């Protein structure tokens, strides 16, 4: 996705980095014309990530 100047400006104003935007784009849910990650989804993603990291440490 090519970021518009408006998007870059808003990301800067809200201290949102490219990594955070990429996470929302990859794992977020569509809500009309928006992609969001709510608290429930964020917590589920954290649980999955912790599980994956724990598995990797055991290798």
pTM: 0.69
Residue with tokens 């990594």: 19
**Greater pLDDT, 43 or 2:** 43
Quote the CA–CA distance of 36 and 33 in Å, as a whole number: 10
Query: What letter does residue 14 receive in the DSSP assignment?
Result: T
Per-residue model confidence as pLDDT tens digits over 19-54: 999 999 999 999 999 999 999 999 999 999 999 999
Per-residue pLDDT band for 1 (boundaries 50, 70, 90) equals: low
Q: What is the Cα–Cα distance from 6 to 10, expressed in whole angstroms?
A: 6
Kindly state the DSSP code that residue 3 receives in the 8-state scheme: P
């Amino acid at each position: 996705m090519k970021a518009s100047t408006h998007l870059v400006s808003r990301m800067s104003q809200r201290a949102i980095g490219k990594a955070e935007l990429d996470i929302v784009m990859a794992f977020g849910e569509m809500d009309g014309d928006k992609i969001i990650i709510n608290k429930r989804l964020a917590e589920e993603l954290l649980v999955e990530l912790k599980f994956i990291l724990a598995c990797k440490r055991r290798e």
